[in-house]
Amino acid sequence: MANTPYPESYYAASANAVPPRPVLQDDVETDVCVIGAGYTGLSSALFLLENGFRVTVLEAAKVGFGASGRNGGQIVNSYSRDIDVIERSVGPKQAQLLGQMAFEGGRIIRERVAKYNIQCDLKDGGVFAALTAKQMVHLESQKRLWERFGHTQLELLDQRRIREVVACDQYVGGMLDMSGGHIHPLNLALGEAAAVESLGGSIYEQSPAVRIERGANPVVHTPQGKVRAKFIIVAGNAYLGNLVPELAAKSMPCGTQVITTEPLGDELAKALLPQDYCVEDCNYLLDYYRLTGDKRLIFGGGVVYGARDPANIEAIIRPKMLKAFPQLKDVKIDYAWTGNFLLTLSRLPQVGRLGDNIYYSQGCSGHGVTYTHLAGKVLAEALRGQAERFDAFADLPHYPFPGGQMLRTPFAALGAWYYGLRDKYGF
């Protein structure tokens, strides 16, 4: 029986201690079987338990093994596509619902952290940094747009103000979102898992769902057991493989990499990011970074289409970090790792039902820390029979990647290369 550990990372090295969880070896019955213990699965499980459902979570490896335990830790609200683009695609009514929900995920995370006393280094404040005047104009128009949907907390930063929050000379300005922020992502997932168990939910680790028997009374099979449930929630995201073949054609796993410096010490850390906000730039292939609780810099950027693991992550990411912060040239990198997120062609989440009782949410295409928490809430609402907000996501159109399974990776890489050139040369 495979025992898959966490990949080596700063997060695994600094994870809060948790008791070992069992492997499913029985035939169990529950109301909802959740497949995957990342944020989507755990958030769904928590909302369902809070509403009186019995919940069993199956995790192929360990809680937070996927993107939820490896990400940059940035609480970035909204979606991976601008709301005006969404509005043009789906019309004002659906866009209104989606727009209203766009900053809810960050609130859910804070409520969870407070209610269940989760120790995950939560800090408020996220900055979108503009590298060009064109990007700054775009941020200004985004701020106006978000105000139309009732989100009035955003603050524009001019060149002087952004220099006060980040010691990087590349930026012409930015936008501060105090409802954004950052967390230790694996400790958030572990805290949410403990909350699930505190409410009577069961989590089985090293227990992959290998087959779903569909029908009026669906059954999820693992190598040594099975779960009979009224509903199934599929939350395996980029690690799901081909368990649900209908979902694979319209999404593509992509790798992205993160490095972590040695501890910088209070003085250097404060010089880089005096207010301890997280930062992401406005490029299509964006760089993002933040300080950890013990004052290291976590820096991420770049995408590997098709989720191949690059051989030398430090060689790819360190030059990006030094471009932003040449002052770190003598700083050692202690950790480097890769993780997979799930990309859709529209960069919007892929949400829906298969038959009456199998629900799924996946593919938030990069920005997922907040959306996945919201997804748990709207999935739980849908299972309780209030599906208006769920349907606002489920009705988003999705298309297969051009080129099919064979050619989608080079085609997507070509598209990203084009957008990378646009970022670089500003056309």
Ligand X SMILES: Cc1cc2nc3c(=O)[nH]c(=O)nc-3n(C[C@H](O)[C@H](O)[C@H](O)COP(=O)(O)OP(=O)(O)OC[C@H]3O[C@@H](n4cnc5c(N)ncnc54)[C@H](O)[C@@H]3O)c2cc1C
Q: Which residues contact ligand X (rule: CB under 6 A)?
A: 35-41, 58-61, 65-68, 70-74, 76, 208-209, 235-240, 243, 256, 258, 288, 300, 339-341, 362, 364, 366-369, 372
- Reading the block at residue 215, the tokens are 């029908």
CB of 267 to ligand X, least distance (A): 26
Query: Which of 268, 117, 287 lies closest to 191 in space, CA to CA?
Result: 117
**Distance (Å) of CA 221 to CA 4, 58, 358:** 19, 10, 14
Comparing CB distances to ligand X, the nearer of 152 and 242 is: 242
CA distance linking residue 101 with residue 10, whole number of Å: 32
**Distance (Å) of CA 141 to CA 138, 156, 386:** 5, 11, 33
CA distance linking residue 112 with residue 260, whole number of Å: 26
Check: CB of residue 56 under 8 Å from CB of residue 32: yes
Comparing CB distances to ligand X, the nearer of 99 and 106 is: 106
CB of 234 to ligand X, least distance (A): 8
CB of 157 to ligand X, least distance (A): 20
Comparing CB distances to ligand X, the nearer of 134 and 398 is: 398
CB of 240 to ligand X, least distance (A): 4
Comparing CB distances to ligand X, the nearer of 372 and 409 is: 372
Judged by phi (left if over 0) then psi (alpha if -120 to 50, else beta), residue 206 lies in left
Residue carrying the six token digits 């003085």: 267
CB of 70 to ligand X, least distance (A): 5
* Nearest residue to ligand X, scored by beta-carbon proximity: 368
CB of 208 to ligand X, least distance (A): 4
CA distance linking residue 31 with residue 308, whole number of Å: 37
Read off the DSSP letter of residue 357: T
Comparing CB distances to ligand X, the nearer of 237 and 292 is: 237
Comparing CB distances to ligand X, the nearer of 264 and 364 is: 364
Query: Which of 335, 340, 350 lies closest to 248 in space, CA to CA?
Result: 350
CB of 128 to ligand X, least distance (A): 13
CA distance linking residue 34 with residue 55, whole number of Å: 7
Comparing CB distances to ligand X, the nearer of 191 and 368 is: 368
